[in-house]
Amino acid sequence: MIRLTLPDEPYWIDLGDGVAVRVRPCDTRAYQTARSASRMAASEALAAIETVESHGGSIADLDLTDRAEIEGLSQQVFVQALARAAIVDWRGVVDDEDRPLALTPERAAELMRFHDIAERFLDEYGMPYERRFSEGNASGPSAAGISAEGPTTAPDAAKPDRPAPADGAGETDGDAPTGPASRDRKKAH
């Protein structure tokens, strides 16, 4: 079962600190494009650091040999790509002289450099997509795309009060057949 209760028109999200963004509805194309961009950017960054270091250079502020650092970079690129694709208007974003800034894709991405803003944006914009994605499965999505690795989103089924009869044992005339022996007994009646 899936609920088709997602918005189909752009809507506003309050991000706190007087900032609000108007976003187009989240769809699979936009969400997965942003997710793919983040994976590719993280992979390219890892390859770039290896190339720089093989030539005697270093990238001092990033340790891309650390999986957590790679995941952090991937998440940053993801939320920035999602913001570029989703945000169609904003209010409360100003320059150094408190003049409203016009929205551009680059500025939408720059807004996501603020951790608290990025978290609120993902919670309000991305989580409904994540919840919808996981409604049809007991496991949520994982970074590798294998839902069995993601967090459990549904409890285990309840155990029956009594087990099913083995090979027709304990059936009455109203019970459904459970095996070949039960069909033979029913024919004999």
Dump pLDDT digits (tens) for 88-134: 999 999 999 999 999 999 999 999 999 999 999 999 998 766 665 55
Q: Any idea which of 12-16, 26-30, 37-41, 164-168 has the lowest mean pLDDT?
A: 164-168
Task: Look at residues 140, 135, 118, 103 and name the one whose alpha carbon lies nearest to residue 34.
Answer: 118
* Res. 183: pLDDT tops 60: no
pLDDT at residue 64, as a whole number = 65
Q: How does 16-30 read in b/e, with b if 16+ C-beta sit within 10 Å?
A: eeebebebbebeeeb
Contact 150, 143 (CB under 8 A): no
Helix, coil or strand: residue 22: strand
Whole-angstrom distance, CA of residue 125 vs CA of residue 119: 10
166 forms beta bridges with none
Sign of torsion, CA 35 39 42 47?
A: negative
Contact 78, 37 (CB under 8 A): yes
Query: What angle separates helix 28-54 from helix 67-86, to the nearest 10 degrees?
Result: 140
Which pTM does this prediction carry?
A: 0.59
* Res. 154: pLDDT tops 60: no
pLDDT at residue 168, as a whole number = 56
> Between the CA of residue 22 and those of 31, 68, 94, 124, 149, what are the distances in Å?
16, 31, 16, 12, 33
Q: Any idea which of 75-79, 114-118, 171-175 has the lowest mean pLDDT?
A: 171-175
Between residues 7 and 137, which one has the greater pLDDT?
7
Please, what is the Cα angle at 62 between 119 and 16, to 5 degrees?
Answer: 20
Q: Any idea which of 25-39, 73-87, 137-151, 165-179 has the lowest mean pLDDT?
A: 137-151
Helix, coil or strand: residue 94: strand
Whole-angstrom distance, CA of residue 93 vs CA of residue 77: 21
